[in-house]
Amino acid sequence: MILWIGIGGIAGAFARYYLGKWVASKSRSTFPFGTFLINISGSFVLGLLYALHANTTVPSWAWFVFGSGFCGAYTTFSTFGYETVQLIEQKRWGLAAAYVAGSVVTGLLLAWAGMIIVG
């Protein structure tokens, strides 16, 4: 099982890296859209997986591989914290506050939406 969680983690890390780079190449803003998109989409997917697993539609192995492995590596709290500190150091207070509030609120709402969709 640990090997499969690791494989899920590798896939999540690669997805995070390449999606983050792609989003950054399309944005001209100092707002960290890549990490924001990754974290909120990961919250949504994890909410879906949780609800499916709770309803026994998703077997335990899939919950661990995709929930702990993929989503655990795909989403990133450390980058979120680092980018917030960078915005604060640049005295971009409003952007830092919007990033924190937007990430937390949107992440929670999308995790909840994923759970609601499954029922």
Determine whether the annotation assigns residue 72 to a binding site.
yes
Residue 12 is predicted with a pLDDT of 98
Q: Give the C-alpha separation, 111 to 7, whole Å.
A: 23
Mean per-residue pLDDT over the chain, rounded: 95
pLDDT in tens, 22-46: 999 999 999 999 999 999 999 999 9
Q: What is the mean pLDDT of residues 87-98?
A: 97
Q: What is the pTM of this model?
A: 0.88
Q: What letter does residue 31 receive in the DSSP assignment?
A: S
Task: Find tokens 């990430």 and name the residue.
Answer: 103
Percentage above 90 pLDDT, the chain:
92
The tokens of 94 are what?
């409003």
Residue 56 has pLDDT above 90, yes or no: no
The tokens of 10 are what?
């590798």
Q: Give the C-alpha separation, 64 to 84, whole Å.
A: 29
The tokens of 99 are what?
């990033």
Determine whether the annotation assigns residue 75 to a binding site.
yes
